Structure 1
Amino acid sequence: MSTDQPPFRDPGLPVRERVDDLLGRLTLDERVAMLHQFAPAVERLGVAAFRTGQEALHGVAWMGPATVFPQAVGLGATWNDELVRRVGEAVGREVRAMRARDPRVGLNVWSPTVNLLRHPLWGRNEEGYSEDPRLTAAIAVAYTRGLRGDHPTRWRTAPVLKHWLAHNNETDRDTSSASVRPRVLHEYELPAFRGPVRAGAVAGVMPAYNLVNGRPNHLSPLLADQLRTWCDHDLVVCSDAGAPSNLADSQAYFADHEEATAAALRAGVDSFTDHGEDSSAVTARVRGALERGLITPADVDAAVRRLLAMRCALGEFDPEPEPDGADGDGGDAAFDTPEHRELAREAAEQAIVLLKNDGLLPLPAGARVAVVGLLANECKLDWYSGALLRRSTPLDGLRERFGADRVTYAEGADRVRLRCADGLLTVPETGPDGDADGTGDPAAAGALDPALLRGRTDLPPLTVSPDPGAAGEFALVDWGGGVLTLRAACGRYLSVADDGLVRASAEQPGGWIVQETFELRPHGAGHLLRHRGTGRYLTVAADGVKVAGDGEEAAVFTVETVERGEDAVAAAAADADAVVVVAGNDPHVNGRETEDRTTLALPPHQDRLWRAARAANPRTALVLTSSYPYAVTDADAALPALLWTAHGGQAAGRALAAVLAGDVAPGGRLPQTWYASDADLPDLLEYDVIGARTTYLYFDGTPLYPFGHGLSYTSFSYGRATAGHDGRTLTVRCAVANTGGVEGDEVVQLYVRAVDVAGPEVPRPHRALAAHRRIRLAPGASQEVEFTVPLAETLGFWDVAHRRWTVAPGTYAVDVGASSADVRATASVRVDGEPPAPRPVVSVRAVDYDEQRGTRLVDLSRERGDAVAPTGPEPGELTFRACDFGAGPAGVAVTAAREEPGAAEVVLRLADGRPLASLTVPSTGDRYAYTTVRASLDDPPSGVHDLRVTLHGPVRLARLGFGDRPIAEAT
């Protein structure tokens, strides 16, 4: 290296030494500017501009055409760590290659999403891997390792995990608070993040919009107390878009933005994603916070140091940061290669789950197949997809595999006309030219991006006509909940541009605010047609059909049905040897970012289609192509075969055809429980999986399909399982053999459960996934599968009584099988040691309860700590199991706060109903102002008992304690 280069340019020096050198050369204003997502260049030092954030969830997103892999939940369904690592590697290489052509492409990738799929109605279910923390962590480790690359110091990309923490609802997502008690935190939420961070391939995390225990995630003390203790390199925390402003705006957690920005910076947020590319608001807030003494330059330096370390690891400050446009790791930047195309096909095949098969599948060679349904000729994208370079729909795949003359098709959309007083809604004949089939020049494939068409105002708007012919017919699809799309005869969807006029201008529904969805609302003898994007009704004006402005009268439409979708489906199905109904969701409609689902039910329109197909031809298979589970109990009972796949990316159709034809035996497994009905679900905001008895870990009912479920075209047998441990590592072995007639994949799943353990009774999972392995076996072949897992992490639980991870001595079962409900071999292990002792009651944090009813967790202070409050006007109750009162304490004290006027009561009694004390908590005037109230015990308990604490009235309970010594202060 040239001697005239400063130390921060020397790749031979340690990263921290290089960063310290560069940091020392920056002015305070330059450092403050780096805190915004769009950090400007420092030209005097030759430091380029830098942007945090590049979406790459299942391919490079928002930057034009790129290889599109299956959705994240589909990658989770592969249960194949090695495959997902290769997908991550391909995405990372495409990021590098695309950046060489376009400097707007960022190397700090905001992927993957490791939020657990706790609730299947979450609108962003497609973005997560699994409801299980260990499977999620394993898939995330694989994906981030691929994104990061194998070079010891140079990172291909810098992955950021989303979204810290307990983020699983779109409803009121920026103001709702997830109540996460310590057991759920340590056993369920944290492991999904901890696994990939410990693996060393994660550059940082993004906090979620929501609050946890009453405190915004962007102020989470766990960023310092947990996250940044898990690895030996600096982790960057990138805010979610607009979230810093939410702290003082929608959340009103602080009185002003300077105070909010300072608090977020002190909590550990390094990069502020706010106000788009305009950094002036953020930098002004930071400077204001400095002037007010809310933060110091050292707080700024801590954040900038972490950001510079990430940029250094990406090679930005090296003398030749991107030789030959590659990433310095063997020159391996690549884009749309044959290998990537093949990998997309392989991933799509491995993500397919066979839910049921009574012999219909695989379809025989030469079969005449009817492929029908709303998604039969679709290759749907989602909000975090790139534009398709190429596409394959189920219809494409089946025609290619069986021959176009052997495959018939019916979409099943209702063909309708919409008549108003002036005539029929009509689409003018002229329209845009362009390659819309995705098979031409990849550079032109961006035409498939609906954003390129929907906003056009040079297309003529819809009009009304007395006799429009085909131009007055529309394909109407009801996606559920009354939400519908209307597609014109030209193949484009009705959409509303900024001028408010309605045009047939969108190749697909899409966009942050979807402009292609409508609702028919009854009105007199007809309907009003409401545009969901604007919330306004359609009207007919001189310049065309448009959304009505203030004071304008809406048009009343009657719907004239030309053809029912189920009639077309039945006609196609009747003459076929087999029928494939492809149903599911459009990822931009009814369940997506900003919008949760309201039901597990398949939309009625699609329910009618599979019923019509089956009535015409019992040899009907239902393929669910969706971002989330459905409750399809009737279909399961009536149809001989069901399959599920997430939206499978560019190779989805070809992959599905290969599985249906038997060229590939299905081997995917469900990454989350499929419940039988909405009645099985907890409230969307119920994050206590233990108390709510939800996910496969605790669900006491019978699911439609269990976690880990998936069938094959072959069969597998399991030999005897053996298990043992050395005090640190649990080792399990089991032989698996293919006893069928075709090659196939088996996902061998290892579960553990407590059978007979010492200590106080603690609710434990029915069984919990400890490890998995996807193996491929030829007919007659066998393989011994060995698992080695850490003993404590696998068998332990969070002991709330003593605030530590504990492995209770006793006997544990080790189950090996094909799903959480299909155990094929069982062994047991014995763990020795001291049993967990009863709970000491000198000082007890209220949050460390064992059970609760009618309470929620709230913030003890703005900075850290948790308290407990009643959920509503009804009393809330906490239960503390196995409390050791010793010889009998003379008194009791509670530390609590009450912001409201008046007083609250905290009543203590034993579980058998024996009263102990009732303490009155006066108003403290502020929710963070705590007081300690004491009472003597006339008849003190002795020995070990369960304690119940009831909260009457608005109160925040921080601690309670028995005895003469003062309880710890509420901090």
Structure 2
Amino acid sequence: MRPLADDDVQPTTPTATLEPSDHAFSRRARALVEQMTTEEKIASLHQVSPGVPRLGLAPFRTGTEALHGVSWLGTATVFPQPVGLAASWDTDLVRRVGDAVATEVRAKHAADPTVSLNVWAPVVNPLRNALWGRNEEGYSEDPALTAEIATAYCQGLRGGHPAFWKTVPTLKHFLAYNNEVDRAVTSSGLRPRVLHEYELPAYRGPVEAGVVGAVMPSYNLVNGRPNHVARELLDELRSWTDRSLLVVSDAAAPTNLVEAERYFTSETDSHAAALLAGVDSFTDHDTESGPTVKHVTAALEAGLLTEEDVDRAVVRLLELRLRTGELDPGLDPYAGITADEIDLPEHRALAREATAAGVVVLANDGVLPLLGPDRAAPTRLAVVGPLADRVLHDWYSGTPPYLSDLATALGARLSSTEVTVVDGSDRVGLRARSTGTYLSVSEPDGTVTATADRCGPAEELDVTDWGHGVVTLRSVATGALLSGGRWIVRADASRVGGWVAQETFRLHRHPDGAWSVQHVGSGRWLRVQHEARTLVADASTVESAERFDLRTVRSGEAAVAEAAAAADVVVVAVGNDPHVHGRETEDRPDLDLPRAARALWRAAREATDRAVLAVVSSYPYALGEIADEAAAVVWSSHAGQELGPGLTDVLVGDVEPRGRLAQTWVARTEDAGDILDYDVVGARSTYWYADTRPLYAFGHGLGYSTVEYGEVTAAVSTLQVQVDDELADDAGPARPTGQVPAFEVSVQVENTGSRTIHETVQVYVALPSGHPAGSRRRLGGHRQVTLAPGEVRRVDVTVAPAALATWDARAERWHTEPGSWTLEVGRSSADVRARATVTVAGPAYPDLVSGSTVDAVAYDTESASVLAPRTSSHGTVVGIRPGARSATVTFDRVDLTDVGTVVVEAARWGAGRAGIEVTLPDGTRHTLPAADAPDPADDAWASVEVTVPETSRTCGTLTVRLEGPARLARLTLR
């Protein structure tokens, strides 16, 4: 049966007693809660709830993983990784992918009603730093593009019915989560500008669009407070919509509040705080709900919670369930989706289309496409490298119905071409010194024993080096990977996988030339048992490990060089295994291509100058000189079951390249910056601020034709900062929003080449010089257009108001700087083809004057500071970074002309001497004592006054220096 697509959905005629709508669902949810006992309500707060049969409520669980297809529930279509979907810059395509995934979730639910229609996708953390282990799960380093792509995917997941949802999407992971190292205990420092300009917009877009029903907080802390008890952030999130939003915890996060983060001393307190902050559903202790019930019940009995607090969360949960049609199967327009609507032909075709759309041609000297009107297919083609004939999974991949690799797809498309495939692995035999015999793989169970006197196919292992000493070992005889996770080593794995990968090893060479092997997952070394001679992973030290003599049967580099020398063109397919060096729980050690991959490239390139580098990866690489040596460079994400055909479509020219980078490829690892520094303004990171020259810029991507850009015009020459209809009070003046209206930019684009081209016209906006935010550019808008050879078209692009706005942390509102703004139009953030200007009219960035109060976090620059909680539940203050003796923060544009006193609100937070030094704009310094630390419960901070002499009443920068355990809350000018 064909799945219901959005266009097929017709509003169902409601009965006289039921009108499906958000308002109706809210009323019904409240009515159900009124009929539930306290025990039934508390039991509903766990991820896995028992249901209430007397009210028609079946057992329920939150969360079906659906990042780029249905995960962990058997066969399902696997679409490209999110970072690959985003490279299409095509919201309609991404919406269709979301719709197909929702159909398959519904099909799984039809087969098993316990499969939740609440899907835990998408991930909308902006890709701030390419070292992040979960880079593949996000969309873009630009928050606006992230919001666009996320909104489109959620639109598909949600469906088009006005009341009933096909599935209910959940945004992950709120907020400021871009590191795996110590992820449950690290604090992301977000000053207000970074929070409002960079982090929140990625979430706000899909929430305001009405296509999100739930949000999951992240494991980390923000400004010293765990996200699962960050009420101010969750309140901000819910303020963007009138619809109910369910907040579900991440797995084990409630326990982390006490055990890992030690933010609370008891789970009674932590559960109460999380529920009061806005968490509605606790994902903890796997399927065991007992601890959650126990702790919430104790909090209720202790008076930390009221029953209304519990009711509020249960109502939200029931509203989500009502949206799915669970209680109205006769009205649910998606109820007809059947269990067999998995791996449909149209889903296969869509997966191939999405794969091709996300392929980015990064460089090309003319070797691509491989076919064309004036170009015959190569007679001999070599496809080499570890990803030449492999399609790899990531942690959130589903189980694909089939896999089609690059070499196979190229061979099928180029039927008259002789295609040679070499994976580049070294083929070796390992002879145990303790027995004098070779390791051999036994069939059918794959047990490895040191029993062979000679080295034949059963004794040969293909060694693939994934970098930093980590390898996989594949049996030549059986094709299976060696796995060491169950003590006895067996060749029984089809791929690397699992929460802790069991198929990776390290090779250690001893001074005498012998080798030992360590199993990475367990940390144990391999040993050959006495008598039985079975290979086991149980040695605790390298000294007790078996020593092997390694015999090289075949050199991977030599095989690649031989194949490349005999070919007209060689495609070198390299990249990462998504379970190695960059995944959930593990950040990348660097951005470099693995040493072994570089060696394979070198072998191919020295054999021929017609070498194409095909990078298949979850993230960008710093390619170094390889980028200049390659005849062409193309990139694809791990695109799932149609990786081979989709990538082939672009390589041979059956599909014109349309992919554009949604994330900068920096030139060096150090250019990525500190993975734990979330202050993109102060760190000057991301393409918004970076001063370094990238390898490939944000938005970059080539076609197989050429384009020229003509004159740029803006629909308006002057933009007036808007004023909304909301009043400051009943009689007060209108409050300005601080933003300009959206406006159109028009540019003429001509295809000057001989092939059709898919062009993504990008408009960036650049701040007026002298703006306090510093120089930078942001994506203002983009539009895709297809041009035939010789075609000229005028393309209109809408520029979003947010692209020109900065957050005024002093006034806690948006501000758009008046002056002349530059509009940069081109093919990427670095390839600007035409410019225009537009004038913004509005108030200048305000000075701090007499009567002003400013929070310390609204500083302009800082040194060695850290953001910390004002109290355990609310507020943020400035302290001193651990390990530093002092910190400074500065406040620009301070006008002390009419100021007699600067009031400093501060405290001594902990033992030791604390000091505060205030330097006025004229350079006059005033040293103040810091009061003792307040009781966090009463928020009683001390105020210390600085008298401003007549001679110091000037304009300029005010600096506050903190020493020891001092913390600064705010300043007031009187």
- The two structures have a TM-score, normalised by structure 1, of 0.92
Instruction: Measure, in 1, the Cα distance between the counterparts of 2:22 and 2:205.
Output: 30
Map of 1:907-946 to 2, 5 A cutoff?
907-910=917-920, 914-924=923-933, 930-937=940-947, 939=949, 941-946=952-957
Across the aligned residues of Structure 1 and Structure 2, the Cα RMSD in angstroms comes to 2.1
- Code of the aligned partner of 2:527: T
- Determine helix, strand or coil for the equivalent of 1:138: helix
Q: Which residue of 182, 195, 199 maps to 2:205?
A: 195
Q: Are the counterparts in 1 of residues 388 and 406 from structure 2 also a CA contact under 8 Å? A: yes
Instruction: Measure, in 2, the Cα distance between the counterparts of 1:696 and 1:405.
Output: 42
- Code of the aligned partner of 1:882: R
- Determine helix, strand or coil for the equivalent of 2:61: strand
Q: Which residue of 282, 304, 312 maps to 2:292?
A: 282
Task: Quote the offset at 1:560 in angstroms.
Answer: 2.5
Q: 1:883 to 1:153 in 2, by over 3 A?
A: same
Of 179-188 and 413-422, more deviation after overlay is shown by: 413-422
Map of 1:274-423 to 2, 5 A cutoff?
274-320=284-330, 325-326=335-336, 334-364=341-371, 365-367=376-378, 368-403=380-415, 406-421=418-433, 422-423=435-436
- Code of the aligned partner of 2:383: V
Task: Quote the offset at 1:311 in angstroms.
Answer: 0.6
Q: 1:319 to 1:488 in 2, by over 3 A?
A: closer
Q: Which residue of 487, 493, 497 maps to 2:474?
A: 487
Instruction: Measure, in 1, the Cα distance between the counterparts of 2:265 and 2:484.
Output: 39
Q: Are the counterparts in 2 of residues 9 and 317 from structure 1 also a CA contact under 8 Å? A: no
Task: Quote the offset at 1:558 in angstroms.
Answer: 3.2
1:820 corresponds in structure 2 to: 829
2:465 maps to 1:467: no
Q: Are the counterparts in 1 of residues 422 and 560 from structure 2 also a CA contact under 8 Å? A: yes
2:636 maps to 1:645: yes
- Determine helix, strand or coil for the equivalent of 1:721: strand
Instruction: Measure, in 1, the Cα distance between the counterparts of 2:485 and 2:830.
Output: 51
- Determine helix, strand or coil for the equivalent of 1:691: helix
2:733 corresponds in structure 1 to: none
Task: Quote the offset at 1:395 in angstroms.
Answer: 0.5
Task: Quote the offset at 1:679 in angstroms.
Answer: 2.4
Task: Quote the offset at 1:333 in angstroms.
Answer: 9.1
Q: Are the counterparts in 2 of residues 427 and 503 from structure 1 also a CA contact under 8 Å? A: no
1:807 corresponds in structure 2 to: 816
Q: Are the counterparts in 1 of residues 912 and 964 from structure 2 also a CA contact under 8 Å? A: no
- Determine helix, strand or coil for the equivalent of 1:539: strand
Task: Quote the offset at 1:778 in angstroms.
Answer: 1.9
2:820 maps to 1:832: no
Instruction: Measure, in 1, the Cα distance between the counterparts of 2:35 and 2:160.
Output: 31
- Determine helix, strand or coil for the equivalent of 1:403: coil
2:744 maps to 1:740: no
Q: Are the counterparts in 2 of residues 7 and 18 from structure 1 also a CA contact under 8 Å? A: no
Task: Quote the offset at 1:626 in angstroms.
Answer: 0.3
Task: Quote the offset at 1:269 in angstroms.
Answer: 0.5
- Determine helix, strand or coil for the equivalent of 1:636: helix
Task: Quote the offset at 1:221 in angstroms.
Answer: 2.3
- Determine helix, strand or coil for the equivalent of 1:819: coil
Q: 1:279 to 1:461 in 2, by over 3 A?
A: farther
Q: 1:535 to 1:943 in 2, by over 3 A?
A: same
Q: Are the counterparts in 2 of residues 416 and 561 from structure 1 also a CA contact under 8 Å? A: yes
Q: Are the counterparts in 2 of residues 901 and 925 from structure 1 also a CA contact under 8 Å? A: no
- Determine helix, strand or coil for the equivalent of 2:604: helix
- Determine helix, strand or coil for the equivalent of 1:732: strand
Task: Quote the offset at 1:893 in angstroms.
Answer: 3.2
Instruction: Measure, in 1, the Cα distance between the counterparts of 2:339 and 2:238.
Output: 31
Please list the CA deviations of residues 534-566 of structure 1 after superposition, one character each: whole Å capped at 9, or x if unmatched. 111111114521111569932123332222211
- Determine helix, strand or coil for the equivalent of 2:319: helix
Map of 1:952-967 to 2, 5 A cutoff?
952-963=963-974
- Code of the aligned partner of 1:347: A
Map of 1:709-788 to 2, 5 A cutoff?
709-725=700-716, 727=720, 728-755=741-768, 761-764=771-774, 766-788=776-798
Q: Are the counterparts in 1 of residues 168 and 212 from structure 2 also a CA contact under 8 Å? A: yes
Q: Which residue of 648, 653, 675 maps to 1:684?
A: 675
Q: Are the counterparts in 1 of residues 248 and 283 from structure 2 also a CA contact under 8 Å? A: yes
Q: Are the counterparts in 2 of residues 585 and 626 from structure 1 also a CA contact under 8 Å? A: yes
- Code of the aligned partner of 2:967: R
Q: Which residue of 886, 889, 896 maps to 1:878?
A: 889
Q: Are the counterparts in 2 of residues 80 and 773 from structure 1 also a CA contact under 8 Å? A: no
Instruction: Measure, in 2, the Cα distance between the counterparts of 1:555 and 1:12.
Output: 66
Map of 1:230-629 to 2, 5 A cutoff?
230-320=240-330, 325-326=335-336, 334-364=341-371, 365-367=376-378, 368-403=380-415, 406-421=418-433, 422-431=435-444, 459-489=446-476, 490-498=478-486, 500-525=487-512, 526-542=514-530, 543=532, 544-548=534-538, 553-629=544-620
Instruction: Measure, in 1, the Cα distance between the counterparts of 2:312 and 2:23.
Output: 20
1:81 corresponds in structure 2 to: 91
Q: 1:129 to 1:89 in 2, by over 3 A?
A: same
Task: Quote the offset at 1:27 in angstroms.
Answer: 1.1
Of 98-107 and 53-62, more deviation after overlay is shown by: 98-107
1:447 corresponds in structure 2 to: none
Q: Are the counterparts in 2 of residues 462 and 503 from structure 1 also a CA contact under 8 Å? A: no
Q: Are the counterparts in 1 of residues 367 and 632 from structure 2 also a CA contact under 8 Å? A: yes
- Code of the aligned partner of 1:723: A
Task: Quote the offset at 1:10 in angstroms.
Answer: 7.5
Task: Quote the offset at 1:181 in angstroms.
Answer: 0.6
- Tell me the number of residue pairs that the alignment of Structure 1 and Structure 2 aligns: 923
Q: Are the counterparts in 2 of residues 424 and 472 from structure 1 also a CA contact under 8 Å? A: no
Q: Are the counterparts in 1 of residues 765 and 821 from structure 2 also a CA contact under 8 Å? A: yes
Q: Are the counterparts in 1 of residues 914 and 929 from structure 2 also a CA contact under 8 Å? A: yes
Q: Are the counterparts in 1 of residues 44 and 51 from structure 2 also a CA contact under 8 Å? A: no
Between the aligned residues of both structures, percent identity stands at 47
Instruction: Measure, in 2, the Cα distance between the counterparts of 1:466 and 1:339.
Output: 54
Task: Quote the offset at 1:651 in angstroms.
Answer: 0.8
Task: Quote the offset at 1:783 in angstroms.
Answer: 3.2
Q: 1:795 to 1:9 in 2, by over 3 A?
A: closer
- Structure 1: runs of 5 or more not aligned: 432-457, 964-971
- Determine helix, strand or coil for the equivalent of 2:441: coil
2:9 corresponds in structure 1 to: none
Map of 1:222-237 to 2, 5 A cutoff?
222-237=232-247
- Code of the aligned partner of 2:369: P
Instruction: Measure, in 2, the Cα distance between the counterparts of 1:321 and 1:483.
Output: 54
Task: Quote the offset at 1:319 in angstroms.
Answer: 4.7
Q: Are the counterparts in 1 of residues 483 and 492 from structure 2 also a CA contact under 8 Å? A: yes
Instruction: Measure, in 1, the Cα distance between the counterparts of 2:341 and 2:441.
Output: 44
Instruction: Measure, in 2, the Cα distance between the counterparts of 1:794 and 1:958.
Output: 30
Instruction: Measure, in 2, the Cα distance between the counterparts of 1:157 and 1:663.
Output: 35
2:186 corresponds in structure 1 to: 176
Q: Are the counterparts in 2 of residues 123 and 593 from structure 1 also a CA contact under 8 Å? A: yes
Task: Quote the offset at 1:803 in angstroms.
Answer: 2.0
Instruction: Measure, in 2, the Cα distance between the counterparts of 1:35 and 1:312.
Output: 16
Q: Are the counterparts in 1 of residues 849 and 899 from structure 2 also a CA contact under 8 Å? A: no
- Code of the aligned partner of 1:496: G
- Determine helix, strand or coil for the equivalent of 1:567: helix
